[in-house]
Structure 1
């Protein structure tokens, strides 16, 4: 629930100009920060890596519909991924790779292997 509140502030023309200039400087600063951060994220490379062979299998994995509990584990075991997943931090890298796929961003760099 929101209420409208009317506030009247009496300021001189000079004070109003100072306030507007300060706000304008804040807006300019924020715009520059957004541009800088946007440029920084566009040029940053993912720090995590995953072998292409594993990424290809994970890409196939997310295409499957598993209608029963445990079928995912069977598929992972049958495709030889359990050995790779069981090594820390690979299990977390797998999650980051899949999350990046879901979000449409590259969180993990795919490398040859």
Structure 2
């Protein structure tokens, strides 16, 4: 099945996924990793996040890919995180909301 034969919703979802999967992670002039910017609806959706959540759940709630959330954490520019006793990365809802609020585009609240 080629791209034209797919239902519009499938093409849109695939394009949205592709756009999320390969964001521009670096400032083109300095090469420094840059954090994402969020809008008001993403911030509102993240408020439904559990009190603590694993990396995959947090990525979905923030509207990011897991690899991009991991990229932010590794480069020290993501929300505060911790490891539980099994070694899984976890995020607290308050830390995620604080981070998202600090990186929300003005005029989108």
| TM-score, scaled relative to structure 1 | 0.27
Higher RCO (CA-CA < 8 Å; seq separation 6+): 1
Give the number of the structure whose residues are more often helix, by fraction.
1
The structure whose Rg is larger is 1
| TM-score, scaled relative to structure 2 | 0.27
